[in-house]
Structure 1
Amino acid sequence: MSVTILFLGPLRDIAGEQLREVDGPLDWAGLRDAVGPEVAAQLDEDRVNVACKGRVLADKCALQAEDGDEVALLPPVSGG
């Protein structure tokens, strides 16, 4: 089985794809490795959130995704 990484907004443009399947389980270090250096640099920003199983993580570095989970990378939201 695998973990699905979902790239949203500008992170999708940087990654060049909307979804990526990777082997699970997946922790923070594994996520950073799986997304590549450009997206990983964005993940280091406080304004970028990570959700797992539909819930935004209070501490994204505590990510523990299991086989079958979806991890969404959430860029900052702007609006007027």
Structure 2
Amino acid sequence: MAKLVFLGRLEDVAGLPEMAVQPGPVEQVLATLDPGLAVQLLGEKVRMALNGRLLTDVGGIVLGQGDELAFLPPVSGG
């Protein structure tokens, strides 16, 4: 299995902090999720980190066995 990790407000949208998924192309993995969640995860300002490394190009990502893909929402503060 691979793992999706939802941080910040994305955890609220997903309803849980992480989710186990079948390995495979990210597009296929996201297609199995609730459509509202998938739209939020693909938001323009959401960053992704694969196994702890920020991704600059998110095209063509294939999750392998044991991989962790984290979704990081934009952060604001004061």
TM-score, length basis structure 2: 0.86
Higher helix share: 1
Tell me: CA distance 1:39–1:58, structure 2 relative to 1, closer, same or farther (3 Å). same
CA contact (8 A) 1:49 1:60 kept: no
Indicate conservation of the 8 Å contact 2:10/2:41, yes or no: no
Contact kept in structure 1, 2:11 and 2:17, CA below 8 Å: yes
Q: Does residue 1:70 correspond to 2:73, yes or no?
A: no
Q: Indicate the RMSD between aligned Cα atoms, in angstroms.
A: 1.4
Paired residues, what number? 78
Partners of 1:34 and 1:59 lie apart in 2 by 22
Superposed displacement of residue 57, structure 1: 0.9
* Ranges in structure 1 where 5+ consecutive residues have no aligned partner: none
State the 4+ residue runs in structure 1 displaced beyond 6 angstroms: none
- Structure 2, unpaired ranges of 5+: none
Give the TM-score, by structure 1 length: 0.84
